[in-house]
Structure 1
Amino acid sequence: MARLLRRSKSSEVRVMIDRSRIWTGSLNETALAGRPKPSAGFYDTTLRDGEQAVGVVFGVEQKLEIAKLVDGLGVGRIEAGFPRVSDEDKEAIKAISAAGLKAELWGFARAIIEDVAAVADLGLKHLVIEAPISDAKLGALEVAREIVLKRIKDAVAFGAKNGLHVAFFGVDSTRADLEFFETAYKTAIEAGAIELAIVDTLGIACPEAVDFLVRRVKSWAGTVPVHFHGHNDFGLATACAVAAINAGASWIHGTIDGIGERAGNANLPEIALTLELLYGIQTGIDLARVRDASKRLRQIASYELEPWKAAVGRNLFIRETGAVAAQFHIPQAIEPYSSELLNTPRGIVLGKKSGAASIAIKCSELGIEAPPGAHARLLAEVKKLAMAKRRLLSDAEFLELARQVS
C-alpha cells in the first residue's frame, strides 16, 4: 500500500510505496539504469487555474474544502488565490490561511505593484508574479518589451522589499523569443525573485522542448529552483511534467484531474502515479486518496471524466471481457499495478463480452449456487439480454436470469 510522504514548511516525512504491488516489468528499470533519481515537488493551482475551466465557480467554503482535499493528498504547495481578482478570493485566502494546513500557501499576482500589495496585506509569505513575455501576448496586449521588463522589475522588487518569497512566472514562455525569455527571467532574479516558473500556457511544447528549456534555464540560473507549469492541449502535459523533473525542475504545477480551461492543466495525481510507479521518484502524493479527492472535486465543480481516465477512472479495475475475467484471480496478469495502491476495489461486470469465467466469478460474488450446466445457459442469456439492451446488466438483472435458468 502507498504510505504518506508529505512535504511541509518545516519537515519532510518520507515513506515508501510497496514496490511488490507494481507489476510493470523490468524494461523501465533497464532503460533508466544509472540515471539519478530527482525529487519532485507538487504545486497545486486548482483554486485559481482550475477554476478557469468553463462554467466552474468555487465559493469560499468550497475553496476551503478543496484546499483541505489537496493538503490531504500531501501536496507541498497550494496556490490559495489571486486576491486582486475579487473580494471572494480574499475571503477564501483568509479562510485557507486560518485552516492550519501543512502545505505552503502561495498567492498569485500580475506584475503590478497593487496586485503584489494585495497578497502581502493578507499575510501570505509566498507569491507567484506573472507577466506575458511572448511577442504574441505582448502584441495582443499592446505592451512593448521594455515596458513589461520594467513592470517585472518593479513588481518583483516591491515583493522582495516587503519580505515575500517571489517566483517569477513568464506567461507563454514556451513561445517567447529565447533571448528575451532569458532577459525577462534574469530581470526578475536581479530584482529579487528566488524561484522561476517556466510556463507552457497553450500546451504547445513537446517533452523534448521542455527538457531543452529547463536545462537551458538551469545552465544560467544555477541553484535557483525551477518550476514547470503545463497545459494539456496536445495531451502531453504528463509527459512534459516528467521531462521537466528529469531535466532538473523542482516543482510541477497542476490541478486535481487536470481541471482547467481548454484541454485543462497538468494532472497532478496522474503525474504522481507516473513518477512514483514508472520512475521510482517520490512525489509526496498519497495515491490512496486521489480517487476520493477527484470524486469530491467533480461533485463540487459538476464535471465528468472518461471512465478509462488514468488514476481515477471508474473502469480501471473493472472487467467485462471473458478472456480477461479468466485471469481475474491473477491481478498482475491483467493490471500494471495493484488496485490497493489507489484504495479501490476490483470487480467483474456482465455484458456482451462476458465469458464462462465471468459467470462463475459473479455467481460466487452474489452467493448463487447454480446447478451443473447452468453457467453455459446463464452466459447465453446474459449475452442475449445485454445485446438487446445494449448495455451492461445490473446484479439485479443477473439474479433474475439465474432464477429463471435454475
Structure 2
Amino acid sequence: MYYKENAWWASPFNDKEEVQKYASPGHPVTIHDATLRDGEQTPGVVFSPDDKLKIAEKLVAAGVTRIEAGMPAVSPDDFKAVQMISSHFPEAEVYAFSRAMRKDIDMAREAGCKGVVVEVPIGYPKLQSQFHWTWENVLEKSIDCVNYAHQQGLRVVYFPYDTTRAREADLESLLKGVMKHCPPDSVGLVDTMGCAMPQTIQYMVRWMKKLTGNLPLEVHCHNDFGMAVANELAGVAAGAEVVHGCVNGLGERTGNAAVEELIMAMNILLGMDTPYDLTKLKELCEVTERLSNISCAPNKPFAGKRNYTRESGIGVDLVIKQPLAMFATDPRYFDREAEIVLGKKSGKASISYALEQLGLEATGDQVTELLSEVKAKGVEKKGLLTMEEFSLIADSILQ
C-alpha cells in the first residue's frame, strides 16, 4: 500500500503487478536483530548488560522479538546480558552467537537461549589466509556442533560467514555435507565484506535453497558498498525468510543493514503486513544512539536528525502544512517534526515563516532585505543561521 493518510506517500508504481512480481516476497519475513552482538563489534562500542537490556526492551516494544543477544562465551558480562534478556523477555526468541564448539553451545543453553547462530568460515580468503582450512575441515567441525546443539534443544542457524566470497565448489560441497550429516534449522547467506550486488544475493538465495532442499534462508549483509538494505530486500524477493540487521546500521567497518530501514522498506515500499510498529522506531534508534555513543549522520535515513529539514525556499510552506507533498513520510506519524532552517538557499517564504515564529511583521521590501542579509550570513558562516542570529538581523532591519 503506497499511500496511508497522514503517514506516508510512496511511489504508486511500487504496487504495479510487474514490480510486485519481482520485489514482494509473498511470504512472511522475520527481522533478526544483531545489534547486541554485531552492533557491539562497532569499534569503540561497549554495551553493559543493563544497556543491552534497555535496547532489547525497545526492540520488543517495536515488535522485533528475534534477538541475537550476544556471545556468552566472550565474557561473564556477555553471559549475564544474554541471561537477563532471556529471562526478562520470555516471549522473545533469543539467540546466542556461537563458535562451532560444544562449550559455546553449553553456555548458550545455560543462558536461557532458544537458539544459536553457529559461525564457521567458508569465504576462500578466510580459509586460505586466516584458518588454513579446507571445506572438509569446516564440515567436520560443523557436524558435531550442530548435532550437539539440537541435542540440547536449541534451534540452529548455520552461519557460514563470508559466504559471498566462497569458492562455488567449496560452498556447494559444504552445504550438501551439512544437509546429509547435520541439517540445521536454517542457513545464513552472509555477505561479511558487503561486496555482493543485489542480483548476486538473489542468485545465491535461490541456489542455496536448492542445495538445501528449500531450507529457510537468512540473509546477513554488511554495508561496504552502501547496499546492505537493498541486498537484503533483494534476498527477500528471491525467497529468504529472515533478514539480519542492527539498529542505526551499527556494525564493523561500514556497519550492517539498518533494522529501522528494513522495517520501513518492508512496510511502506513492499507493502508487507509485518508485526513491527513503525511508531516505536524513533525511540529505539535514539536509545541505541545514546547507549552506543555513536551519532547517526544527520542525513541518515530515518534516524538522522535532519531528515525532515528544509533550507531551500521552494515549497517551504508545504513542509509544515502538507508534509507529504515534500517528503515520502509524514514526520508527525513518527513523532518527529519538520523543520525550516535559514541559510544561503532560503527564499522569501522561509523569511516569512521565521518572522511568524518570532511574532514579527515586515513589509515586502523588508522581507527582500532580510533575505539578502540571511543569504550573506549563510555564505559567511558556510552553514545555517540560528534563530538568535536571524532575530538580530531582523531587529536591525525592522527597527
TM-score using structure 2 length:
0.92
The match for 2:150 among 154, 160, 166 is 160
For 1:85 and 1:240, the matched residues in 2 are separated by 30
Q: Deviation at 1:242? A: 0.5
Q: Secondary structure at the match of 1:78?
A: strand
Question: Aligned AA for 1:46?
Answer: T
**1:126 aligns to what?**
115
**2:272 aligns to what?**
281
Q: Secondary structure at the match of 2:361?
A: coil
**1:185 aligns to what?**
175
Q: Unaligned 5+ residue runs, structure 1?
A: 1-15
For 1:99 and 1:367, the matched residues in 2 are separated by 51
Q: Deviation at 1:222? A: 3.6
The match for 1:325 among 316, 341, 350 is 316
**1:47 aligns to what?**
36
The match for 2:93 among 82, 92, 104 is 104
The match for 2:302 among 292, 305, 311 is 311
For 1:241 and 1:363, the matched residues in 2 are separated by 46
Deviates more, 1:246-255 or 1:128-137: 128-137
| CA-to-aligned-CA distance 1:342-387 (integer Å, 9 cap, x gap) | 3211111111111100011222233323355432222222223222
| CA-to-aligned-CA distance 1:34-69 (integer Å, 9 cap, x gap) | 565332210011111111111111111111112112
**1:27 aligns to what?**
13
Q: Deviation at 1:226? A: 0.8
For 2:288 and 2:14, the matched residues in 1 are separated by 33
For 1:86 and 1:273, the matched residues in 2 are separated by 34
Q: Secondary structure at the match of 2:218?
A: strand
The match for 1:214 among 205, 208, 212 is 205
For 2:378 and 2:269, the matched residues in 1 are separated by 37
8 Å Cα contact 1:80/1:96 also seen in 2: yes
Q: Deviation at 1:332? A: 3.0
**2:336 aligns to what?**
344
For 2:256 and 2:235, the matched residues in 1 are separated by 15
> How many equivalent residue pairs?
391
Question: Aligned AA for 2:182?
Answer: A
8 Å Cα contact 1:38/1:281 also seen in 2: no
**1:259 aligns to what?**
250
Verify: 1:89 aligned to 2:75, yes or no: no
**1:297 aligns to what?**
288
Deviates more, 1:280-289 or 1:191-200: 280-289
For 2:274 and 2:218, the matched residues in 1 are separated by 14
For 1:171 and 1:387, the matched residues in 2 are separated by 49
The match for 2:360 among 368, 371, 378 is 368
8 Å Cα contact 1:166/1:192 also seen in 2: no
TM-score using structure 1 length:
0.90
**1:3 aligns to what?**
none
User: Against the structure 1 CA distance between its residues 231 and 338, is the aligned structure 2 distance closer, same or farther, given a 3 Å change threshold?
Assistant: same
The match for 1:403 among 392, 395, 398 is 395
The match for 1:146 among 131, 136, 141 is 136
User: Against the structure 1 CA distance between its residues 120 and 187, is the aligned structure 2 distance closer, same or farther, given a 3 Å change threshold?
Assistant: farther
8 Å Cα contact 2:3/2:10 also seen in 1: no
Question: Aligned AA for 2:67?
Answer: I
8 Å Cα contact 1:40/1:282 also seen in 2: no
For 1:220 and 1:147, the matched residues in 2 are separated by 20
For 2:358 and 2:284, the matched residues in 1 are separated by 30
User: Against the structure 1 CA distance between its residues 348 and 45, is the aligned structure 2 distance closer, same or farther, given a 3 Å change threshold?
Assistant: same
Verify: 1:200 aligned to 2:185, yes or no: no
Q: Secondary structure at the match of 2:314?
A: helix
For 2:273 and 2:168, the matched residues in 1 are separated by 32
Question: Aligned AA for 2:72?
Answer: P
For 1:38 and 1:324, the matched residues in 2 are separated by 40
Q: Unaligned 5+ residue runs, structure 2?
A: none
For 1:348 and 1:104, the matched residues in 2 are separated by 43
**2:382 aligns to what?**
390
Seq. identity, %: 34
8 Å Cα contact 1:39/1:245 also seen in 2: no
User: Against the structure 1 CA distance between its residues 192 and 162, is the aligned structure 2 distance closer, same or farther, given a 3 Å change threshold?
Assistant: farther
**2:223 aligns to what?**
232
For 2:90 and 2:309, the matched residues in 1 are separated by 35
8 Å Cα contact 1:41/1:250 also seen in 2: yes
User: Against the structure 1 CA distance between its residues 119 and 25, is the aligned structure 2 distance closer, same or farther, given a 3 Å change threshold?
Assistant: closer
**1:172 aligns to what?**
162
For 1:318 and 1:274, the matched residues in 2 are separated by 21
For 2:302 and 2:340, the matched residues in 1 are separated by 19
Q: Deviation at 1:158? A: 0.5
**1:71 aligns to what?**
60
Question: Aligned AA for 2:14?
Answer: N
For 1:338 and 1:305, the matched residues in 2 are separated by 20
8 Å Cα contact 1:160/1:192 also seen in 2: no
Q: CA RMSD in A?
A: 2.0
Deviates more, 1:247-256 or 1:108-117: 108-117
